Amino acid sequence: MSVFESTVTVNKPVAQVYAFLADMNNHRQLMPDNIEDWESTADVASFNIQNITKLSIKIEERVANTLVRIIPAEKPPFDMELKWELSEADGATQAAFTITAQLNMLMKMMASGPLQKLVDEETTNLAKLLS
């Protein structure tokens, strides 16, 4: 398993950050520019990663003010899980975003950079949006 992580502090109450992340419609604002054809509901999002693949993901688990776990809604190119873990830190929110992916050696070489960039960009965008 390959693990890609990024953590950020958001100067908002944990309930507000959780409410934002618990709705897949809001996740478009966190994505990088190479995401196209975004379609979403509160639970599911489908999109194209420019020149790479089409993905459909869904929220599998919500734990109020603590966790949003996202998994593929359709068979992806590789097994993966996306997880937002939240905790309160002095009136602000500590948000940790993790992507866990089952990558073979070739996929790991090709996808590690983009996946790490994705987790970094999503946490940075979350902090900017909710500041």
Kindly report, residue by residue over 40-88, the tens digit of the pLDDT: 999 999 998 877 778 999 999 999 999 999 999 998 878 999 999 999 9
- On the question of pLDDT at 124 being above 80, the answer is yes
Domains in the chain, ordered, with CATH?
2-22+61-129 (3.30.530.20)
What pLDDT is stored for residue 1 in this prediction?
Answer: 92
Q: Strand 44-49 to strand 35-40: parallel, antiparallel, or no bridges (unpaired)?
A: antiparallel
- On the question of pLDDT at 15 being above 90, the answer is yes
What pLDDT is stored for residue 50 in this prediction?
Answer: 79
Dist CA 97 CA 6 (whole Å): 5
Q: Which residues contact 117 (CB under 8 A, 6 or more apart)?
A: 32
